[in-house]
Amino acid sequence: MTPSDASGNPWSDLDRPPLNTTSLRRGLLRPDGLWTSVDVVASTGSTNSDLVASGGAEGAVLVAEEQTAGRGRLDRTWSAPPRSGLFFSFLLTPGPDVPAERWGWLPLLAGVATATALARAAGVDMALKWPNDLLIEVEGAERKAGGILAERTGDSVVVGIGLNVSLRADELPVPTAGSLALAGAKVLDRDPLLRAVLRSVEEWYGEWRRAGGDPGACRLQQAYAAGCATLGRTVRAELPGGRELVGEAVAVDGDGRLVLATEDGVQEPVGAGDIVHLRPARPEE
C-alpha cells in the first residue's frame, strides 16, 4: 500500500474502522419505527446543511465519517479527524399535535437521549450544559465531548449531533475538549453507540410527541434538570446584543429556558445565548 492509498483508505487506521451502513440499517429501520432512512457518507461539509437542502421525510438520518464544515451554535465550527467521532443529523416533523412553541425542547431532548444512551452503552457519565453541550469528566476536569444544533426548516426540525469518540489527547482542538476514550468509556465501537443514541432519541421523541410536547408530562423536563450540570452554578449568560447577565442557574422552565436568580433578587429566564460556568455547583446539604 502506498502512502497515497493509505490516506484515502478508511481501514488505514485500524482503531477507527468505518461505520457499517448495512448493520445500522438492519438495526434501526422498522416499518413502525421513527427512522425511515440511514445514509453514511465519507465526508461532507455539514450533515445539518445537507439534510436541510434534501427536503427529506421525517426520520431521515445522515451520518458523515468526516465533517469539514460542521456547525455548532453561534456559528462556531466543529471539526475532528475522520472516523474519530459520530457526526450525524436527523429530520423530525412534530406535526400539529405539538405546538410550535414547544419545538425548542428538541435539542434538550436530544441531549437527554444521548446522555442516557451513552451511560448504558459506553458506561460513561455525561452531563448536559444548557442548552446543548455534552460534558464528560477527564482526569477530574469537566470537558466538552459533544454538542447539538437544531435548525427549523419549514414544518420540520433538523437536529445535528457531534460527539468525540476516539479523539486522542494530542488531537483535541482546544484544551477544554474531551472524548469518550479520554473519559475511559468501555465501548468505543461507533456502530453500537450510534444505534443506542438513535434508539434513545426515538424513545424520548415518541413520549414527548404523545404528550403533545408537554415536557413535564413525558418526564423530559425532570430528566433534563437531573442531568444538567448548569443548574446550581453561578453562570454568566452572554446574550444577543452584547448584554450579559450573571446569576445562579436555578431551573429550566416549561419552555426550556434557563432561569437565573440574580443578586438583586430577580429571576430572569434566558432563552438564547452563551452560558459560561463561573463556579461549581453548591454541594448538597
Expressed as residue numbers, the domain containing 198 is 13-226
Q: Are residues 205 and 237 in the same domain?
A: no
In a domain, 268, yes or no: yes
Q: Are 89 and 160 in contact (CB under 8 A)?
A: yes
pLDDT score, position 273: 86
pLDDT tens per residue across span 84-99: 999 999 999 998 989 9
248, part of any domain: yes
Same domain, residue pair 169 and 256: no
Model pTM score: 0.91
Helix (H) or strand (E) holding 210: helix 190-210
98 and 146: one domain? yes
Domain count, the chain: 2
Q: For position 223, what pLDDT does the model report?
A: 98
The whole-angstrom distance between residue 103's C-alpha and the CA centroid of its chain comes to: 16
Residue 5: predicted pLDDT = 37
122 lies in the same domain as 260: no
**Average model confidence (pLDDT) for the chain?**
91
84 and 41 belong to one structural domain = yes
Predicted pLDDT at 6:
43
| Residues 230-246: tens digit of each pLDDT | 999 999 999 988 899 99
Task: Answer yes or no: do 99 and 210 share one domain.
Answer: yes
251, with CB counted inside 10 A (0-12, 13-18, 19+), is middle
C-alpha distances in Å from residue 36, one per residue of 54, 57, 97, 242: 14, 8, 20, 42
**The CATH number of the domain where 248 resides is what?**
2.30.30.100
Question: Mutual orientation of helices 106-121 and 220-227 as an angle, nearest 10°?
Answer: 60
In order of 162, 192, 252, the CA distances from 231 in angstroms are 23, 31, 8
| Residue in the structure block whose three cell numbers are 465519507 | 42
pLDDT of residue 74: 46
Write out the chain's pLDDT in tens, 285 residues. 333 334 456 665 778 999 999 999 999 999 999 999 999 999 999 999 999 998 889 999 999 999 886 555 445 555 689 999 999 999 999 989 899 999 999 999 999 999 999 999 999 999 999 999 999 999 999 999 999 999 999 999 999 999 999 999 999 989 999 999 999 999 999 999 999 999 999 999 999 999 999 999 999 999 999 999 999 999 999 998 889 999 999 999 999 999 999 999 999 999 988 999 997 766 554
